[in-house]
Copies of this chain bind each other. A is one copy, B any other.
Amino acid sequence: MAHESIKVALLGAGTVGSQTARLLVEQADEFERRIGARLELTGIAVLDPDQVNDPWIDKSLLTTDTLELTTRADVVVELIGGIEPARTFVLSALNHGASVVTANKALLAQHGPELYEAAERNGVDIYFEAAVGGAIPIVRPLRESMVGDKINRIMGIVNGTTNYILDEMTTRGLAFDTVLKEAQAKGFAEADPTADIGGFDAAAKAAIMSVLAFHRDVRMDDVHVEGIENITESDIEAARAMNRVIKLLAVVSENEQGISAGVYPIMLPADHQLAKVSGSFNAVFVEGEASDDLMFYGRGAGGAPTASAVTGDIVTVARHRVAGSTGPSIPLYSNAPIVDASQAHSSYMVRFNVPDNVGVLARITEIFAQHGVSIRAAQQHEQEDAQGNHELWITTHSVSDHVIRETIDDVAAEKTAGAVISIMRVFEE
């Protein structure tokens, strides 16, 4: 049975937009068979049509009137990025009855719940597989496959730039600044790398995953964020000495206290599945009540991989339109509290620089004990620095963030005890 065509509007023709247009043109016949209707590229909104030179893009489709384009399509594909004007365009599309496909993690992390609600109110779809983990199907498994399970925790390597930098520091023994400059030269890091290395890109993805996993309105501002900019070669070396590697993880979890969402560097055991994810790959590790451990792994960025996720969404929402239906909505019925980051628990490794005095270890462990911090291991290193000081590594059992910081402040206040070199979370099962 022939169905009239499905009109697709692309907003943006950057790397992902261009690759999406290519897939829509090259795979048009295949998609028609999969959908039962032909996808008709009805317009591509760009800032400057003269800068679009892809041979597969029909120039007559280009327009600069983005808002108008959102009013005359069945499926609007938002690949502009950023909050405004993307938010206005997406809302216009939804309110005009179009389904929306977007890769815009920043927008969803700040305004996702309103947009999901607007889609439901208008009886249309909003799909965003590419917003988390690039080509990796993670949004749909969370939204649909795992809907029969209770998700306890998600830990993801969801930022390729930081994973690449940490990987290079680990395998080549280089300093953060050196690797960052190299990554910028190769195009793996932005000229302004703050969003990546500060952990903000990963935090946006953490917020989006929290909503899907816990059915709770969680926004970017609810996510505790620490980046990798202060990680030194000696941190990497210390991790290696403990048969661990440092990864920047987005971690979201729910327990009796509530929902925690954070992004931070953490020492993983070297044989953990996430520790083996190298270079610019992404991986998301999901711990379900019934399903147990799951992992999703693949390319987290790049034009073609991201475009494959976008076109998968386009085909899905087009199928829904042919069937006169929509996919599942994103119900937000949970009122679980958001746990303040200072209350979140973790094991920590603290490295001190201590003088070679009898009694220093005893004094430091006494301060830990006074704060109720249980020590898993204390290790004093032979090697002296020029001042005759040694490194002392203390690994704790699980303790809340504010308690470990108060403990360390107390140690630092006693000048005789020693100076804090660094403090780093340690992953324990």
Contacts and interface: CB of A to CB of B under 8 A. Distances in A.
A312 B137 contact: no
Given A148-B311, A150-B27, A316-B328, A295 B292 contact: no
Interface string A1-39: 000000000000000000100010001001101101000
B148 A308 contact: yes
A273 to B, nearest CB: 7
A294 B295 CA distance: 11
Contacts of A331: 33-34, 36
B135 A292 contact: yes
B137 A145 contact: yes
Q: Which of A30, A140, A291, A299 has the most CB of B within 10 A?
A: A291
A297 B273 contact: yes
A368 to B, nearest CB: 37
Contact of A136 (B33, B148, B294): B294
The complex is assembled from copies of this chain, and their number is: 2
- Choose among A23, A34, A146, A147 the residue with the greatest number of B CB atoms under 10 Å from its CB: A147
Interface string A101-126: 00000000000000000000000000
A347 interface: no
Interface in A284-312: 288-299, 302, 304-305, 307-312
A309 B298 CA distance: 22
A328 B148 CA distance: 19
A147 B291 contact: no
A326 interface: yes
Given A147-B315, A148-B23, A325 B328 contact: no
A288 B129 CA distance: 16
Contacts of A316: 144-145, 147, 328
A247 interface: no
Contacts of A54: none
Interface in A125-149: 129, 135-137, 140-141, 144-149
Contacts of A323: 325-326
A394 B215 CA distance: 57
A313 interface: yes
Contacts of A309: 145, 148, 291
Given A276-B276, A325-B325, A148 B292 contact: no
Given A141-B137, A320-B325, A298 B308 contact: no
Contacts of A144: 140, 144, 312, 316
Given A33-B215, A308-B146, A135 B291 contact: yes
A319 interface: yes
A324 interface: yes
14 contacts: A34-B147, A34-B215, A135-B288, A135-B292, A137-B137, A144-B144, A144-B316, A145-B316, A146-B312, A148-B309, A290-B304, A292-B298, A293-B299, A296-B297
